[in-house]
Each structure stands twice: as structure tokens, then as C-alpha cells.
């Protein structure tokens, strides 16, 4: 029987009986066995622990991709993994081929159910360092001064499937697992401080309304459809969260540039048992920035992995994202209100001007996961994972969550032992009496997993509060009657959205109006549009009139007097300056550019902690005078949405030589000279998206041809590349140049 024709046999191995010797490989592949490369330094996460309590690296029972020889799942070495065992080369495949059956069976079961919400996510490892500033009100050890705690953070969108685009308009999840010495603490928050509903019992309803229509399963990862808008107009408590979604917060520029919120009010407990109510906030060091709606839409097609890539690239480049954890504190009064705001209502916020956010620690993300499935997909968060010093309140939304998360993991992770998966394992010692179940990987010893017992020496013993036991705060539950009802304070659905709207800058308000107009214009049912306009009329007449005009419908009158609210300037994203670390500067150049100046400029960008990407007519290198300069993007694969700012490095006549006559002729017909139309598109989009633009030498002609006036705000032209860069960097500290489009010109973006 002739053997397979191109199997490779490892060098130095004895020939396999009945098989011919190795033939010359057609493709270049490694022929010597060697240890796989160790993970890149920045990718090795903090120590994770295995079911036997040993650090993952030290545990020989853990199966991972190690060693140089291929084996079956039983450890049997294999000589071939490319051919099924057959009765002759052209004969039937034999059922006795265990390797074939094992390989295919495992593959058939590789997928697990995706999360019912927050299916699409990206994650990173990092470290949290406490400032000690919360220690007077919270006994949690990890908040102590300079205590370092490993963390794992998963960011997500809510509505879309696992493979959906990153830049859709949606809320973002911001879930953090703290592996503290007292057990795992999960802060499972969002990038929006309020939620759609006040009671968890409505969660399946809002999600059914937001997910794709059940008949055609469209639209994917979108709220712009009838069922979502039907729901939010019929449950007006959703108005506040919906307004945040329609604001720029719904389309973040990057996970690194998002705030995070615990949403619910939590209760902190000090060493003496004293309690304080708090709301948790994550404040990003890079500021809070957003995409424009057109950018978000283009990016959904051009780079659906935009946020995932951004996070991983920044960490790999050493630009570690950072957030300060902060708390707003409120006295734990029996009413659980602060200045009239019901702290148990998750559709309400307390303005930061009334209760400032006090920093209590710093989180730095330092390592990408080594394996997406093992870590990002299998991580299981739970708002009930608490440590001594942090307790819950009676927010009815939180109550439902405390049940839901452990329940959903049983389906998603296939049984009750998901806490044994390495990424979920606590770093504190575990000594539970949970036994057996699907996917049990621990080998428990002892005979008496119950207590008290007399057979295992009485172990395990209970701890008291002094030995770190979690003791629930003895909160008094008021005497009451069983009801299905909400308190009267939960009925105010307009004052908080109104405060949010009035706190925004005029540019941000225009974006809100444009977003509502876009989304409602995608609804087919006239009644849904009209009902939503009635909700908006009770929030703000200007907002309602703007959306009504866009829909071509009359603006309804408010149903009563509008609430008198004080704006909270902290809610606006604009008007501040921020670090420019990790910002991406595209530099358009060709062989005629001054390449020596270009090299210097790249170095300056890098020294400034930003990322310079040279965009040229072709890949490889630019080899003109002062070169060579390495090219990172070409006119064919660059799109404006990737860049925070664009610079044009001299060179008129761009693309004329390098490109097919068709493109150049098209540009000439449009009166753009010889400039490649893709360069014109890059520049005109960046201009429309209010991004900083700079040029020197002949680059000014490209800007002019792309319709970017030299005297427009945020367009910097000079003969000195260094001064162009410095002005553009200064503009980037404000993220975008909104003065380019005074209020009233939103329609152009
Ligand atoms: Fe969640 N939520 N949620 N949620 N949630 C889930 O748990 C749920 C809510 C949040 O990256 C699920 O493991 C209910 C608010 C994040 O793995 C599920 C209610 C907030 C993530 C679930 C809420 C969140 C989830 C799906 C209403 C912000 C992703 C998969 C009472 C404070 C975590 C899973 C990750 C995930 C239930 C409302 C944040 C089904 C019942 C409010 C960040 O258990």
C-alpha cells in the first residue's frame, strides 16, 4: 500500500514502517522540533490558579499547548494529522480511526452559547492599586494604601452577537474582576450611569425589544428599529438611558476613553460597622471621547474590530490604559435619598457637582489575554461577588441581577463548576463544600463535605468577622406588606433626562437630535415615532422640535409644566483638554516628499507617545531623497476613520505615477489635478469629522483639492513640519475641532 504523498517526518526520527521517507516540503515549514515561543512579555497575564490551587504555570495537570510533538487528547504521539485512515488511497475511511473521530468530535463542540447580552467583548489583564483614601469608610483590604490587586476587565457591547461590529450605537459593558486576597470582587458596570428599567423583572422584555426582530433576525446590534422604540416609549423610565445612548456616549472612540459606572448604589462598611452609601465611577486618564456617527457607521464596515484592535494594540505598544476608581458618597439615611434623589432608583444619577467623585485607586491594564476563548469568553462576572466592606442595597434592579448571573453561567459554561476555570479562580484560598457536577476538575480529598462533622477533624471551620468572614450588614427592613409595586419616587421619568440634555454643549445636543432622528426614521410604525416625540416633548421642547422636524412630523406640546432642573456641567464631554497618548497620526507621503523631514517627524510623534502611520501609494518603503521610510498603510487600505489627525507631507501630484490611469483621470475630471481620489477622500472625511489636519510644502494643494480651506479652524499649514505637528498635537488635546462647524451645521457630518 502506498503511503501519503507529502507527509513530513521529523528529522532524525526512525522511518515509520510501511511508509516512504520524507519528501521535500513544498512550502517552507519548520522541520526541527523546538519549544514553542514563550508568550510575548506584555502578553503574560497575572498568575491564574488551577482547580488544585496551584499557579497555572506550576501545575502539570493543566493541559495547554506545550512541547514539540503532536499528541492525541490521551497523550499518544501522532505521525499524521492530515489524512484519515482509509482502506487504500481511494478507499472508504475506516471507523476505527480514533484520531479522526476525536479530532472532529472535539471540533463539533468547540462553540458554546454566546452571552445572552454583552456577547461581543474584548478584555485585558491589569493591576489595581488602592490609594487608601477609602479606608476610613470601607474595610475592604484591596482598597488599602498601595495594595496591588490583579484584575481582569471585559468591555462589551450589549445587543449584538459575538461577531457583530464594535462601533454600533449601544451601551458598553465595563466589567472588572478584582482577584483580592479576601476573595473575588466583581464590579460589573456599564459606560452609562443609568439603566433602562427600574425592576429586573422587565429585563427580558427590554432585551427582547432591543434584539433583532424574531422573524427575520434583523437588524443586528442596532436599536434603530420598531420594537426597541416601541418599548422605550411605553416604559418612560427608559427615557434617561435612551438619551445617553443617543448622545455621543453611545459611540465611544475607544474602550480606553470611556467612563465606567457601577450604576446601582452600593453600601460600604468600615471596621466599626459604620456604613456609607456610594456610587462607583471609573474615570479614564485619556478623557471621554466619541466617534462621530458617520465615522461609527463607516468603521462598522471598514474595521468591525475597531475597539478590540485599539485596546490590544495600545497594550502591546506599552501605552497602558488607566482609569481612576472613584466614589460619590452619601449618608446611609433610612430613606436612602440624597437631596431628594432616590438612591435605589437606577434610572437616576446624583450630579457630581453635588457629590464629587473622590478617587480611591488606580487601575492599569498591562497585558492582553493569551487566549480569547479561555479568558475573554469564559470569564464569568457576578455583581454578587463581594468582599467584606462592600455590600448591596435594595435597588430592585440589582436584586434581579444577583440571581441572573450565576444562573446564566450554568447554561453558558456548561455546569456549576465554572469557578474552576482558570480565569475565574480566586487568588484567595478556596475551601468550599461544593462537590461533583459537570466539568468538576478538582480532586477533593476528605470524606465529610458537610459541617459540623467529626470525621475530617471538624474542618472546615467557620470564620468570624475578625478573621475576614463576609457578614451581611444588619440593615433594618421596614415592616411592610407584600406588593408588586414601585415607590412613588420612581415615577419621575423626566427631570433626570432633562438635566442630562441641558448639561450638554450645543454641539452635543445637535448630535442627540441627529441620533434620535436617524433611529426613529428607521421605524416603520408612525405611532411609534409619534409616541416617542411625546416622550421627548416632556424632556425638552427644543429636542422634540428638532427631531420632529427631521421626521417631518408636528412637534407635540409637553403634557405638563417641565421640571425645573439645574444642569450638571460634568456631564458634557467637551470643553476639557486631555493627554494625547496613543493617538494615531496618519502622514500622507510619496516618493517626492522630503523623507528626511518625514523621518524626523515620525520620531517626534513617537516621542510624544502617539502612533505615526505613514500612508503611501504603495507598501514597503518610500525610497526618495532622505529615505528610505517604511510604509504602514497604503492609499488602498487606509480609511480616515483610523486616524485622529492627518498630515500631508509635501508632494503635490500624489498618486499620479503610481496609480492606474482610471483613478487619476477621475480626479482630473473632478478638477482635483493629479491627486489620488483616495487621498482626497481621506482628507475630506477627516475634515468632515472635525479632525485636525496639517500640511507643509505641496501638501497644502492636496488639502485645497479635498475641499479643506486653509483658514478653517483646525487646518494647519506651514513650511515647518515641526510646528505643524505641535499645533496639531495641541488640537488633539481637545479631541476634535468642533469650532469648524458652528451649531447648525451638523447635517454636514
Ligand atoms: Fe447585566 N447581564 N443584567 N447589566 N451585564 C449579563 O451575565 C442582567 C445590567 C452587565 O463581560 C449576563 O454573564 C439582568 C446592568 C455587563 O461577561 C446576564 C439585568 C448593568 C455584562 C445579565 C442586567 C449590567 C452583563 C449575560 C437587569 C450595569 C457583561 C452574560 C436586572 C450596571 C459581563 C452574563 C461580561 C451580562 C443579566 C442589567 C452590566 C444575563 C437580569 C444594570 C457589563 O446574567
| Mean pLDDT in residue range 392-416 | 97
Minimum CA distance residue for ligand 1 atom 28:
189
pLDDT, tens digit (0-9, with 9 covering 90-100), for 664-675: 555 555 555 678
Q: Report the residue among 235, 265, 381 best suited for mutation to probe ligand 1: largest number of ligand atoms under 8 A from its CB.
A: 381
Residue 144 and residue 177 in one domain: yes
How far is it, in rounded angstroms, from Cα 124 to Cα 315?
9
- pLDDT tens sequence across 638-667: 999 999 999 999 754 544 444 444 455 555
Q: Rounded to the nearest whole angstrom, what is the distance from the C-alpha of residue 404 to the centroid of ligand 1?
A: 8
73 assigned to some structural domain: no
Question: Between residues 53 and 421, which one has the greater pLDDT?
Answer: 421
Average pLDDT over residues 675-700: 93
26 in a structural domain: no
Q: What is the 203 CA–ligand 1 centroid distance (Å)?
A: 10
For the CA of 397, the nearest atom of ligand 1: 31
Domain identity same for 228 and 316: yes
Q: Which of 283-297, 647-661, 718-732 has the lowest mean pLDDT?
A: 647-661
Its ipTM equals: 0.96
Of the pLDDT bands very low, low, confident and very high (cuts 50, 70, 90), residue 556 is very high
Q: Is 381 in the pocket of ligand 1 (CB under 6 A)?
A: yes
- 542 and 611 together in one domain: no
pLDDT in tens, 527-552: 999 999 999 999 999 999 999 999 99
Between the CA of 381 and the centroid of ligand 1 the distance, in Å, is: 8
| Whether residue 408 sits in one domain with residue 339 | yes
Q: Is the CB of 194 under 6 A from ligand 1?
A: no
Nearest CA to ligand 1 atom 11: 154
Residue with the smallest CA separation from ligand 1 atom 41 is 401
Determine if ligand 1 sits within 6 Å of the CB of residue 190.
Answer: yes
Is 190 catalytic? The answer is yes
- Cβ of residue 500 lying under 6 Å from some atom of ligand 1: no
Residue 563: pLDDT over 90: yes
Examine the pLDDT at 3 and tell me if it is beyond 50: no
pLDDT digits 0-9 by tens, 211-238: 999 999 999 999 999 999 999 999 999 9
203 lines ligand 1 (CB under 6 A): yes
Out of 2-11, 175-184, 195-204, 248-257, pick the least confident. Answer: 2-11
| Residue 641 CA: distances (Å) to CA of 184, 204, 293, 725 | 39, 35, 11, 19
pLDDT at 282: 98
Region of residue 728 (left: phi > 0; alpha: psi -120 to 50; beta: else): alpha
Indicate the top mutation candidate among 196, 238, 405, 414 to test ligand 1's pocket, ranked by most ligand atoms within 8 A of CB: 405
Domain boundary among 571, 594, 609: 571
Q: CATH number for the domain including 342?
A: 2.40.180.10
Nearest CA to ligand 1 atom 1: 401
Is residue 481 over pLDDT 90? yes
C-alpha cell at 337: 435619598
Question: Ligand 1: distance of its center to the CA of 726 in Å?
Answer: 43
So what's the pLDDT on residue 130?
98
Task: Check residue 1 and give its pLDDT.
Answer: 37
- What single string gives the DSSP state of each residue in 680-703? HHHHHHHHHTT-EEEEETTHHHHH
What would the mean pLDDT of 186-195 be, rounded to a whole number?
98
Q: Is 153 in the pocket of ligand 1 (CB under 6 A)?
A: no
| Residue 121 φ then ψ, to 5° | -150, 170
Contact 191/252 with Cβ under 8 angstroms? yes
Report the percentage of the chain scoring pLDDT > 90: 82
- Domain assignment present for residue 34? The answer is no
DSSP designation for 447: S
Cβ of residue 400 lying under 6 Å from some atom of ligand 1:
yes
Mean pLDDT in residue range 128-148: 98
Beta strands per DSSP E along 304-350: 322-331, 337-338, 341-342
Question: Quick one: which atom of ligand 1 is closest to the CA of 173?
Answer: 43
Does the pLDDT value for residue 8 go beyond 50?
A: no
- 125 is known as an active-site residue: no
Domain boundary residue, one of 372, 390, 424: 424
Q: Would the CB of 156 count as within 6 Å of ligand 1?
A: yes
Residue 465 confidence class, pLDDT cut points 50, 70, 90: confident
* Domain final position from 363, 390, 424: 424
Instruction: Pick the closest to residue 139 from 426, 474, 390 (CA basis).
Output: 390
DSSP 372: I
Same domain, 150 and 274: yes
Has residue 748 got a pLDDT over 80? no
Q: Both 296 and 233 in a single domain?
A: yes
Tell me, yes or no, whether 115 lies in a domain: no
- Give distance in angstroms: CA of 407 to centre of ligand 1: 12
Residue 395 alpha carbon to ligand 1 centre in Å: 15
Which residue puts its alpha carbon closest to atom 30 of ligand 1? 115
- Same domain (yes/no): 611, 527: no
Q: Give the pLDDT band of residue 627 (cuts 50, 70, 90).
A: confident
Atom of ligand 1 nearest to the CA of 175: 43
* 734 and 702 fall within a common domain: yes
Write the secondary structure of 575-617 as one string of H (helix), E (strand) and C (coil). CCCCCCCCCEEEEECCCCCCHHHHHHHHHHHHHCCCEEEEEEC
Residue 504 lies in a domain: yes
Q: Where are the beta strands (DSSP E) in 493-644?
A: 584-588, 611-616, 621-622, 629-630, 633-634
Judged against a pLDDT cut of 50, whether residue 7 lies above it is answered with no
Tell me: do 639 and 527 sit in the same domain.
no
Indicate which atom in ligand 1 lies nearest the CA of residue 155. 11
Confidence of residue 497 (pLDDT cuts 50, 70, 90): very high
Residue nearest to atom 38 of ligand 1 (CA): 401
CA-to-CA distance for 633 and 655, rounded, in angstroms? 14
Are 556 and 607 in the same domain?
no
pLDDT score, position 60? 55
The three-class DSSP label of residue 100 is helix
Q: Considering only CA atoms, which residue is closest to atom 9 of ligand 1?
A: 401
Assess whether the C-beta atom of 191 lies below 6 angstroms from ligand 1: no
270 found inside a domain:
yes
Tell whether the model's pLDDT for residue 749 goes beyond 50: no
Report the C-alpha gap between 322 and 364 in whole angstroms.
Answer: 5
Whether the predicted pLDDT of 35 surpasses 70: no
Q: Which of 112, 159, 173, 265 to mutate to test the pocket of ligand 1 (most atoms within 8 A of CB)?
A: 173
Active-site residue among 6, 99, 106, 190?
A: 190
Q: What is the CATH number of the domain that holds 720?
A: 3.40.50.880
Q: Does the beta carbon of 401 lie inside 6 Å of ligand 1?
A: yes
Residue 299 falls inside a structural domain: yes
Using the Cα atoms of residue 518, residue 520, residue 525 and residue 526 in order, give the sign of their dihedral.
negative
Phi first, then psi, for residue 560 (nearest 5°) are -170, -170
Overall average pLDDT of the 336-342 stretch:
97
- My answer on whether 330 and 415 are in the same domain is yes
Take atom 19 of ligand 1 and give the residue whose Cα is closest: 401
When mean pLDDT is compared across 6-20, 347-361, 441-455, the lowest value belongs to: 6-20
Residue 744: what pLDDT?
73
Predicted TM-score (pTM) above 0.90: yes
Catalytic residue among 118, 240, 385, 427: 118
* Residue 745: band (very low, low, confident or very high) from pLDDT cuts 50, 70, 90: low
Instruction: Give 698 or 278, the one with higher predicted confidence.
Output: 278
Residue 624 — pLDDT band, cuts 50, 70, 90?
A: confident
Residue 66 — very low, low, confident or very high, per pLDDT cuts 50/70/90? low
473-491: average pLDDT: 93
Q: What spacing in Å lies between the alpha carbon of 401 and ligand 1's midpoint?
A: 7
Atom of ligand 1 nearest to the CA of 400: 31
Number of domains in the chain: 3
The Å distance, Cα 397 to ligand 1 centre, comes to 11
Average pLDDT over the chain, rounded to whole?
90
CATH of residue 530's domain is 1.20.1370.20
* In the predicted structure, residue 11 carries a pLDDT above the cut 60: no
- Residue 131, pLDDT > 50, answer yes
Which cell numbers hold the place of 209? 425589544
Kindly state whether residues 531 and 665 are assigned to the same domain.
Answer: no
Residue 221 inside a domain? The answer is yes
For residue 261, give the ligand 1 atom closest to its CA. Answer: 32
Tell me the residue range of the domain where 668 lies: 584-748
Confidence of residue 34 (pLDDT cuts 50, 70, 90): low
Amino acid at each position: 500500500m502506498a503511503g501519503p504523498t507529502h507527509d513530513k517526518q521529523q528529522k532524525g526520527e526512525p522511518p515509520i514502517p510501511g511508509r516512504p521517507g520524507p519528501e521535500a516540503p513544498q512550502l517552507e515549514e519548520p522541520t526541527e522540533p523546538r519549544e514553542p515561543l514563550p508568550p510575548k512579555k506584555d502578553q503574560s497575564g497575572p498568575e491564574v490558579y488551577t482547580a488544585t490551587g496551584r499557579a497555572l504555570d506550576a501545575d502539570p495537570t493543566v493541559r495547554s499547548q506545550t512541547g514539540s510533538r503532536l499528541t492525541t487528547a490521551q497523550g499518544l504521539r501522532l505521525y499524521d494529522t492530515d489524512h484519515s485512515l482509509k482502506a487504500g488511497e481511494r478507499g472508504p475511511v475506516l471507523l476505527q480511526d480514533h484520531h479522526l473521530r476525536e479530532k472532529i468530535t472535539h471540533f463539533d463542540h468547540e462553540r458554546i452559547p454566546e452571552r445572552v447580552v454583552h456577547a461581543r467583548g474584548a478584555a485585558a489583564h491589569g493591576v489595581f492599586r488602592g490609594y487608601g483614601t477609602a479606608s476610613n469608610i470601607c474595610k475592604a483590604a484591596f482598597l488599602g494604601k498601595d495594595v496591588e490587586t490583579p484584575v481582569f476587565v471585559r468591555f462589551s457591547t450589549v445587543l449584538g452577537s459575538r461577531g457583530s461590529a464594535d462601533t454600533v450605537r449601544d451601551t458598553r459593558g465595563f466589567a472588572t474582576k478584582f482577584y483580592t486576597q479576601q476573595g473575588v470582587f466583581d464590579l460589573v458596570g456599564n459606560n452609562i450611569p443609568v439603566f433602562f428599567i427600574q425592576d429586573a423583572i422587565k429585563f427580558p422584555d427590554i432585551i427582547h425589544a432591543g434584539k433583532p426582530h424574531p422573524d427575520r433576525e434583523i437588524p443586528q446590534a442596532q436599536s434603530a428599529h420598531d420594537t426597541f422604540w416601541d418599548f422605550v416609549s411605553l416604559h418612560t423610565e427608559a427615557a434617561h438611558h435612551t438619551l445617553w445612548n443617543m448622545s455621543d456616549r453611545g459611540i465611544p472612540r475607544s474602550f480606553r476613553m470611556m467612563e465606567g459606572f457601577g450604576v446601582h448604589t452600593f453600601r460600604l462598611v468600615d471596621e466599626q460597622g459604620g456604613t456609607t452609601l456610594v456610587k462607583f465611577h471609573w474615570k479614564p486618564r485619556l478623557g471621554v471621547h466619541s466617534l462621530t456617527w458617520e465615522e461609527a457607521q463607516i468603521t462598522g464596515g471598514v474595521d468591525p474590530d475597531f475597539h478590540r484592535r485599539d485596546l490590544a494594540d495600545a497594550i502591546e505598544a506599552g501605552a497602558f490604559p488607566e482609569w481612576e476608581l472613584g466614589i460619590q458618597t452619601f449618608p446611609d439615611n433610612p430613606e436612602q435619598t440624597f437631596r431628594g434623589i432616590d438612591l435605589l432608583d437606577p434610572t437616576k444619577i446624583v450630579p457630581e457637582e453635588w457629590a464629587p467623585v473622590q478617587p480611591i485607586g488606580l487601575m492599569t491594564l498591562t497585558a492582553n489575554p493569551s487566549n480569547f476563548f479561555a479568558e475573554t469568553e469564559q470569564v464569568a462576572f457576578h455583581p454578587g461577588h463581594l468582599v467584606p466592606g462592600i455590600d448591596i442595597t435594595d435597588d430592585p434592579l440589582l436584586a434581579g441581577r444577583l440571581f441572573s448571573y450565576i444562573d446564566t453561567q450554568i447554561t453558558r459554561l456548561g455546569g456549576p463548576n465554572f469557578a474552576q476555570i482558570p480565569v475565574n479562580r480566586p487568588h484567595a484560598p478556596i475551601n468550599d463544600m461544593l462537590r461533583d457536577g459537570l466539568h468538576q476538575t478538582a480532586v477533593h480529598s476528605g470524606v465529610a463535605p458537610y459541617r459540623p462533622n467529626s470525621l475530617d477533624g471538624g474542618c472546615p471551620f467557620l470564620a468570624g468577622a475578625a478573621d475576614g468572614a463576609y457578614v451581611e450588614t444588619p440593615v433594618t427592613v421596614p415592616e411592610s406588606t407584600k406588593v408588586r409595586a414601585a415607590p412613588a419616587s420612581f415615577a419621575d421619568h423626566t427631570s433626570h433626562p432633562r438635566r442630562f440634555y441641558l448639561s450638554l454643549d450645543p454641539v452635543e445636543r445637535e448630535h442627540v437630535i441627529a441620533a434620535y432622528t436617524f433611529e426613529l426614521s428607521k421605524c416603520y410604525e408612525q405611532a411609534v415615532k409619534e409616541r416617542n416625540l411625546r416622550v421627548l416633548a416632556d424632556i425638552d421642547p427644543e429636542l422634540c422640535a428638532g427631531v420632529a422636524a427631521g421626521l417631518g412630523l408636528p412637534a407635540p406640546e409637553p403634557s405638563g409644566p417641565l421640571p425645573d432642573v439645574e444642569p450638571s456641567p460634568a456631564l458634557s464631554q467637551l470643553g476639557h483638554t486631555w493627554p494625547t497618548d496613543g493617538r494615531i497620526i496618519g502622514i500622507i507621503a510619496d516618493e517626492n516628499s522630503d523623507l528626511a523631514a518625514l523621518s524626523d517627524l515620525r520620531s517626534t510623534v513617537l516621542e510624544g507617545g502617539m502612533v505615526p502611520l505613514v500612508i503611501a501609494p504603495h507598501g514597503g518603503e518610500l525610497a526618495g531623497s532622505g529615505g528610505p521610510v517604511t510604509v504602514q498603510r497604503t492609499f488602498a487600505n487606509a480609511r480616515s476613520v483610523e486616524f485622529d489627525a492627518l498630515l500631508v507631507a509635501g508632494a503635490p501630484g500624489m498618486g499620479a505615477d503610481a496609480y492606474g490611469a482610471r483613478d487619476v483621470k477621475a480626479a482630473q475630471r473632478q478638477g482635483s489635478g493629479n491627486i489620488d481620489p483616495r487621498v482626497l477622500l481621506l482628507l475630506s472625511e477627516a475634515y468632515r469629522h472635525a479632525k485636525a489636519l496639517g500640511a507643509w510644502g505641496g501638501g497644502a494643494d492636496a488639502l485645497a483639492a479635498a475641499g479643506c480651506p486653509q483658514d478653517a479652524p483646525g487646518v494647519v499649514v506651514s513650511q515647518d513640519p515641526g510646528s505643524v505637528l505641535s499645533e496639531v498635537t495641541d488640537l488633539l488635546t481637545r479631541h476634535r475641532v468642533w469650532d469648524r462647524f458652528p451649531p447648525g451645521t451638523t447635517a454636514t457630518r
